[in-house]
Structure 1
Amino acid sequence: MKRRSLGTTDVSAIGLGCMGFAGVSGMSSMYGEVDFDEARRVMHRALDLGLDFLDTAEVYGPFANEEFVGETIRERRDDAFLATKFGFRIEDGKVAGLDSRPAHIQEVCEASLRRLGTDRIDLFYQHRVDPAVPIEDVMETFAALKRAGKIRFAGLSEPGPETLKRAIAAGKVDAVQSEYSLWERTVEDDILPLCREHGIAFVPYSPLGRGFLTGQVKRAEDYEEGDYRRTDPRYRGENYDANMKLVNAVKTVATRHDATPAQVALAWLLAQAPNVIPIPGTKKVHRLEENAAAAELSLSEQDLKDLAEAAPVGGTAGERYANPAMLAMVRR
Structure 2
Amino acid sequence: MRHTEGCSRRRLLTLAAGVSAVLTFDRALATATTPTATSPSQAGDQTMQTRAIPSSSEPLPMVGLGTYRGFDVAPGETAYRQLPAVLDELFRKGGTLIDSSPMYGRAEQTTGELLSIHEPRSPAFLATKVWTRGRKEGIAQMEQSFSLLRTERIDLMQIHNLLDWQTHLPTLREWKEQGRIRYIGITHYTPSAYDEVESVLKAEQLDFLQINYALDDRGVEKRILPLCRERGVAVICNRPFGGGGLLARLKGKPLPAWVSDVQVNSWPQLALKFLLSHPAVTCVIPGTGNPRYMADNAGAGFGLMLTDAQRHQLIALLE
Asked if Structure 1 and Structure 2 have the same fold, meaning a TM-score greater than 0.5 normalized by the shorter chain, the answer is yes
The answer to whether the 8 A contact 2:71-2:289 is kept is: no
Match of 1:288 among 288, 294, 299: 294
2:103 aligned with 1:59, yes or no? yes
Structure 2 residue 187 is matched with structure 1 residue 157:
yes
**In 1, are the aligned partners of 2:201 and 2:228 still within 8 Å (CA)?**
no
Q: CA deviation at 1:206?
A: 1.6
Between the aligned partners of 1:193 and 1:311, the Cα distance in structure 2 is 24
Which sits farther off after the overlay, 111-120 or 187-196? Answer: 187-196
Which runs of no fewer than 5 residues in structure 1 stay unpaired? 88-98, 216-243, 313-332
> Any conservation in 1 of the 2:272–2:300 contact (CA below 8 Å)?
yes
For 1:193-272, what aligned pairs fall within 5 Å after superposition? 193-215=226-248, 244=249, 251-253=254-256, 256-257=259-260, 259-272=265-278
Task: Return the alpha-carbon distance in structure 2 between the equivalents of residues 306 and 248 of structure 1.
Answer: 17
Pair 1:2 & 2:49 matched: yes
8 Å contact from structure 1 (residues 109, 150) kept in 2: no
Instruction: Tell whether the 8 Å contact from 2:255 to 2:266 is kept in structure 1 after alignment.
Output: no
* Amino acid corresponding to residue 304 of structure 1 in structure 2: R
User: How many pairs are equivalent?
Assistant: 259
User: What CA RMSD, in Å, does the superposition of the two structures yield over aligned residues?
Assistant: 2.5
Q: Compared with structure 1, are the counterparts of its residues 188 and 34 closer, same or farther at alpha carbon in structure 2 (3 Å cutoff)?
A: farther
Q: How far apart are 1:303 and its partner, in Å?
A: 2.2
The 3-state SS of whatever aligns with 2:186 is strand
Shift of 1:141: 2.1
Q: Secondary structure at the match of 1:176?
A: strand
Q: Check 1:304–1:120 CA distance in 2 against 1; reply closer, same or farther (3 A cut).
A: same
Distance 1:280 1:150, change over 3 A: same
State the SS of the aligned residue for 1:20: coil
- Indicate the residue corresponding to 2:217 in structure 1: 184
Tell whether 2:64 aligns with 1:15: yes
Q: Which runs of 4+ in 1 moved over 4 A?
A: 246-249
Determine the C-alpha separation between the residues in 2 that align with 1:101 and 1:140: 12
User: Helix, strand or coil: the match of 1:181?
Assistant: coil
Q: What is the CA deviation profile of residues 203-236 of structure 1, one whole-angstrom value per residue up to 9, with x for unaligned ones?
A: 1112122554334xxxxxxxxxxxxxxxxxxxxx
In structure 2, what residue type is equivalent to 1:5? A
Matches within 5 A, 1:112-123: 112-123=145-156
Match in the other structure for 2:80: 36
8 Å contact from structure 1 (residues 86, 124) kept in 2: yes
The separation in 2 between residues aligned to 1:206 and 1:164, in whole angstroms, is 17
Cα contact 1:157–1:176 (8 A) shared by 2: yes
Contact kept in structure 2, 1:212 and 1:247, CA below 8 Å: no
Q: Deviations over 1:143-192 (max 9, x none)?
A: 11212322111111118444335434554311111111011111112211
Q: Is the 8 A contact 2:225 2:280 kept in 1?
A: no
**Distance in 2, Cα, partners of 1:174 & 1:266:** 22
Deviation at 1:15, TM superposition (A): 0.7
Tell me the SS of whatever aligns to 1:50: coil
- 2:140 match: secondary structure: helix
Q: With structure 2 as the length reference, what TM-score do the two structures score?
A: 0.73
TM-superposed deviation, 1:255: 7.5
TM-score by length of 1: 0.70
Contact kept? 1:205, 1:279, Cα under 8 Å? yes
Bigger mean CA offset, 267-276 vs 113-122: 267-276
Q: Does 2:72 match 1:72? A: no
Identical positions, percent: 29
Q: Secondary structure at the match of 1:21?
A: coil
3-state SS of 1:123 partner:
strand
Q: How far apart in 2 are the matches of 1:180 and 1:192? A: 10
The residue that corresponds to 2:279 in the other structure is 273
Query: Deviations along 1:79-129, whole A, 9 cap, x unmatched?
Result: 110001121xxxxxxxxxxx3322222111111000000001111111112
